[in-house]
Amino acid sequence: MGRGNGDGDHDPISEDNWIGPDGTESGPGVPEDWYLTYDGPAPVVEGIYDLNYAVDRGNGAIPIEFYIKKYGVPEGFGETDQEKQWSGGQAWWKGSDSGVGDADEAVPPTLDRDFSDDPISVVGFFALSLFTVPGTLLFGGAGVGIMIFSIMNPNHEDGGLVGFVCMGIPCVFAGLISFLIWWSGVIKERLRVQHSKDRLVFQASFFGLGFLSEKRRLSEAVYLGTDKDGDHAIIYGRSSEGVEWELDMSGAVTELAESENPYDPPYKKWAREIAKAIGIELRAK
* pLDDT (tens digit per residue) in 109-130: 446 888 876 667 778 778 878 8
Rg (CA), the chain: 26
pLDDT, position 239: 85
pLDDT, position 43: 92
Q: What is the mean pLDDT of residues 253-282?
A: 85
Percent above pLDDT 90 for the chain: 7
pLDDT, position 245: 92
Is 90 exceeded by the pLDDT of residue 236?
A: yes
pLDDT band at 276 (very low <50, low <70, confident <90, very high): confident
| Cβ within 8 Å of residue 234, ≥6 positions away | 224, 225, 226, 246, 247, 248, 249, 250
Q: What is the DSSP letter of 15?
A: T
Is 80 exceeded by the pLDDT of residue 279?
A: yes
pLDDT band at 173 (very low <50, low <70, confident <90, very high): very high
How many CB atoms sit inside 10 A of residue 61's CB? 20
Phi, psi of 85 (to 5 degrees): -55, -40
| Cβ atoms of 68 and 85 closer than 8 Å | no
pLDDT, position 8: 41
Which three-class secondary structure state does DSSP give residue 233? strand
pLDDT, position 94: 40
Phi, psi of 18 (to 5 degrees): -150, 170
Indicate whether this model's pTM tops 0.85: no
Reply yes or no on domain 190-284 having CATH 2.30.29: yes
pLDDT, position 214: 86
Phi, psi of 97 (to 5 degrees): -110, 15
| Cβ within 8 Å of residue 35, ≥6 positions away | 43, 58, 62, 63, 66, 67
Is 50 exceeded by the pLDDT of residue 246?
A: yes
Of residues 252 and 223, the one with the higher pLDDT is 223
